[in-house]
Every structure is written in C-alpha cells, then in structure tokens.
Amino acid sequence: MSQLTDLDIAGARDALAKGECSSEELTSAYLEAIDAAKALNAFITVLPGKAIEMAKESDARRKAGEVGALEGVPLAIKDLFCTEGVLTTAASHILDGFTPPYESTVTANLWGQGAVLLGKTNLDEFAMGSSNETSYYGPVRNPWTLDGADAGLVPGGSSGGSAAAVAANLCAGATGTDTGGSIRQPAALTGTVGMKPTYGRCSRWGTIAFASSLDQAGPMTRTVRDAAIMLGAMAGHDPKDSTSIDTPVPDYEAALEGGVKGLTIGVPDEYRIDGMPKEIEDLWQQGIEWLKAQGAEVKTVSLTRTKYALPTYYIVAPAEASSNLARYDGVRYGLRVPGDDITGMYENTRAEGFGAEVKRRILIGTYVLSAGYYDAYYLQAQKVRTLIAQDFAEAFSDVDLILTPTAPEPAFGIGTKTDDPLSMYLNDVFTVPASLAGLPGISVPSGMSASGLPLGLQLIGKAFDEETVLRGGYALEQAAGFTGKPSPWWRS
Ligand code: GLN
C-alpha cells in the first residue's frame, strides 16, 4: 500500500486539494518517518508540536478557501536558515542555544505560501564541507547503501541532512544553500534533485552567512517539477538584501513542458578531468545522447579558465568566511567560554566553539586578506573570478544550457577523506565554476554507478534563466527515468 510519505510536493498538493488527506495527517506521517529514521542523523531539531500546529492552521485556511502554492506541504529546513523562536545552529558548537528573534526571508516566503516546518536539518559546520562530516552534531548517513546494509556513506554536503531527508522520504521537500556546490553535489550523491538559482534570485537575509558573494538558497526535492514549485515560492526581491534582484519571478512550473527541441546545449571539454571514472564519463555521454534524441543541438564549448576555479574559490570563500565569522566572539550569540579578560574570553570561545575545518578557513581567509598578501592572493583571485565569468558569458552567446556531470564520483565512505582536504575540495570541481559566475544550475539524478549508487548530471544556465534550466532538467529527468529509492534499512 502506498504511504502518505510517498507523496512528493506535487502529489501532496494534489491530494490535499482533492481532500484525500489533511495537512495534519500528512505532517503526522512525516513526523513518524523522521522519528523512525534517527540512524540517518538527518535532523538537528525536529519540531512535532510546531509542525502539527502549522498543519492545523493550514487545514483551517484551506477550509476558508485560502490556498497558497505550498499549502499544507511539510518541508525540512537546512539549519542555516534563521527560524524565529526555533534553535538555529549552523551545525556549530559556537551557536549553542541560539534562537533567532527573526525569520529568514526565504523561510518566511515558504510559510507565506502555506508550507509546514517539520524541523531543521543537519549540515556541515557553517556550510563548509562536501560530506556533512564537519557538523558538531555528527555526520549524516546517506540513505543509499552498497548492499542493502548501512555502508556508512556520506550524503554529500554541506546540505547533507536535507538531501538525506528528501531521499529517505522524511519530508516532501527541503531547502538547501549552495556556496560552491552544497545543493547540487549532495543531490547527486543521494539521487535527488537540487537547484541553485542565480545569485540574487533568493534573498540571503536571515540565512547565516558563509561567503556572501556566493551563498544562494535553493530547493532540494524528489523531482524537477517539485524544484520548480518550491523555487517559485522561495524566490523574489527583498529590500533587506541589497544583492537581491528586483525582477519578476516567472511561473517555473509552466516552463517545464517546453522540451529541449530547438535548444543548443554546450559541452565543455575542460570538464574532462584527469582520473574521472569512466562511468561518470559514460553517463555524461548518455546525457548528451538523451538531449540530442529529444531534438537539442549539442556543441562543444570552451571554458578555458575552468582549471583555476577551485583555487580561486578556496581564496574567495575563506576570505569572506573569515570576515563573516568574526562576529562570533562569545558576546552576542550562543556559546561563551570565560577567560581571564575579554580577549581571553574571545579566544577561548572561538577555540572551543569552532571545529577544525572552520578554523582552517578562518586562517586561510585571514592570510589572503592580510596586508602583505592581499594583492597576491585575494585581488588576483577576484580577477580570475571575472575571467571565469567571462568564459561562461562567451559560451552562452552560442548555447542555451551547459551539460556536465555534477560530481566526479558517487557517494564515498564516512571518514575516507576527512584527513585530506584537497581530495574533499575536489568533489566540487564541477559545481564551483557556476557558483563563481553566479549562474543557476540543477543536478538531476540520471543513472547508477556500477556499485549501485546514484549519479547526477548538471545543467548550467544563463543568469536569471532558471526557466530554461528547469525545462532542460525536466527533459533530462524524463529521459533518464531514474526511479530508484534506497531500501529503508534505517527504519527502527
Ligand atoms: N564544499 C564547498 C565548501 O566546502 C562548498 C560548500 C557550500 O556550497 N556551502 O566550501
């Protein structure tokens, strides 16, 4: 018998509209599923009381004829979005006990459309990571396994809790944030859809900052249609974020059925990196064939500065992080560790409150911004970033979308890369360039590895052309016909 938690966002919306279930019933079903999935460690905070209350309010609104785009749909929220009166941790010890007195714009938009908050999902500390292993609250386990038993695989990161929750049907959809790949890479590693919109499409207000010139919120869902529905509710201009763009939010769902006939898809040679597994290369080729078969024209494009993207990102992102994280000093938020004097208190709080990866980023960031090295590193990185954006601008004068793999490998084992930051950073090699250029990208589950794990393909689009990205993603999804689901070993 199919369960209520089998309903994705579009399915839940339709079932609620037809009166086949109430939001309260749907929400209870998800809360039970979350309760039985503690082994995944996908949530930092679960909010049963609040969720049921919000669901009842939604049911009452529906009765009164008020129906938002996500009316009654239960969602999980990455614990980087501030939620009013609800513990918000960024998965860091330094934010112990922090309950914001305000709501992030993105989550406020979701509640404004009737969505229900199930809980806050686990992530890498301050969204720094590609495996969800830097969380103070411990690693998230990927619902996917190698042989039906828990293989201890990472779900990707930093939005690993959201990705795992979507893959394991613990929510209808979830929010993520993507600074260098944190929505798209975990989506690829968990067989889910993850979309990073154009920088400026979703407000950053009330989202805990990592690297402000790169951070973007986006949807993590089971299907491309759900991504379109959710993005429409999240996006929009916000005067409280000066980098949020005042441009209309189109009807993304209406854009889905356009097909790829008549579109030109670019394939960048520079993404054929050394040591990429043959199965990733083959999947990419398969993706090209699928789009061609549906009437798209495929062209090789050149993104010559791609090889500088990772080193550039690992200067720009830590520089901004070191500045953003300066505010955590034991005075205003969360943890305070006493010291002999105020400097001692700052030092003790930061020493105890931040984990190793966050400290590494603060050290790198402070170094590249220091007077003696600013020109050599930070300024140089900013110039290279501009060149990377120019590469994309040139490519997009010729093509509508760019197709690449999302990640260079499937999910890997917990602990296998924690002592090797460079190999960890390499997981974002295909997602970071679009982040530096501020462009929208989607990861669509497209196939399986020989070891039985999901693999994703990425489509990158022109700035503010999420409609074409979604349209291409929908076509890819139809062709791939990926319907795999992990077997629920975690259910207690
Ligand atoms: N993995 C990358 C990093 O650690 C990207 C993280 C993100 O997008 N938030 O910086």
Question: Does residue 431 line the site of ligand 1, with CB under 6 A?
Answer: no
Model pLDDT for residues 146-202, shown as the tens digit of each residue: 875 666 999 999 999 999 999 999 999 999 999 999 999 999 999 999 999 999 999
Cα–Cα nearest to 162, from 147, 144, 140: 140
Closest to 216 in 3D by CA, of 464, 390, 457, 386: 464
Cβ atoms of 45 and 79 within 8 Å: the answer is yes
**Beta bridge partner(s), residue 459:** 403, 442
Verify whether ligand 1 is closer than 6 Å to residue 181 (CB atom).
Answer: yes
Contact 89, 47 (CB under 8 A): no
CB distance 127 to ligand 1 below 6 Å: yes
Ligand 1, atom nearest to 130 Cα: 1
Q: Given the CA of residue 314, which atom of ligand 1 is nearest to it?
A: 10
Give the residue, out of 122, 123, 179, with the most ligand 1 atoms within 8 A of its beta carbon, to mutate for a pocket test.
179
User: Given ligand 1 and candidates 126, 185, 428, 435, which is best to mutate, with the most ligand atoms within 8 Å of its CB?
Assistant: 428
Query: What integer pLDDT is reported at residue 150 of this predicted model?
Result: 65
Counting ligand 1 atoms within 8 A of each CB, the residue from 92, 182, 313, 320 with the most, and so the one to mutate, is: 182
Distance 1 CA to ligand 1 centre (A): 39
CA of 134 to the centre of ligand 1 (A): 11
Determine the pLDDT at residue 149. 62
**pTM score of the predicted model:** 0.98
Separation CA 319–CA 326 (nearest Å): 11
- Helix H or strand E segment including 459: strand 454-461
Whether ligand 1 lies within 6 angstroms of the CB of 404 is answered as no
Rounded to the nearest 5°, which phi and psi values hold at 348?
Answer: -65, -40
For the chain, the first-to-last Cα distance in angstroms comes to 19
Which of 80, 158, 210 to mutate to test ligand 1, by most ligand atoms within 8 A of the CB atom?
158
Provide DSSP, 186-248: HHHHHT-EEEE--TTSS--TTBPPSSTTT-EEEEEESSHHHHHHHHHHH----TTSTTS----
Ligand 1 centroid to 158 CA: how many Å? 6
- Please report the atom of ligand 1 found closest to the CA of residue 129: 4
Distance CA 40, CA 19 (A): 32
Closest atom, ligand 1, to C-alpha of 183: 8
Distance CA 218, CA 220 (A): 7
Beta carbon of 128 within 6 Å of any ligand 1 atom = yes
Measured CA to CA, the distance from residue 207 to residue 32 in angstroms comes to: 28
Is the Cβ atom of 428 under 6 angstroms away from ligand 1? yes
Pocket lining: 159 vs ligand 1, CB cutoff 6 Å:
no
Numbers of helices and strands, H then E, in the chain: 16, 11
Indicate whether residue 463 lines ligand 1 (CB < 6 A). no
| Blockwise average pLDDT, block size 10, the chain, 492 residues | 88 97 98 97 98 98 98 98 98 97 98 98 98 98 82 94 98 98 98 98 98 98 98 98 97 96 96 91 98 97 95 98 97 95 98 98 98 95 98 97 97 93 92 98 97 96 98 98 92 83
pLDDT of residue 1: 39
From atom 5 of ligand 1, which residue's Cα is the shortest distance away? 180
Q: Which residues are catalytic?
A: 78, 158, 182
pLDDT of residue 146: 86
Ligand 1 centroid to Cα of residue 286, in Å, is 28
- Residue 33: its pLDDT value, please? 98
Task: Enumerate residues 6+ apart whose C-beta is below 8 A from 457.
Answer: 283, 284, 287, 403, 404, 405, 406, 443, 444, 446, 476, 480
C-alpha span between 350 and 383 (Å, rounded): 32
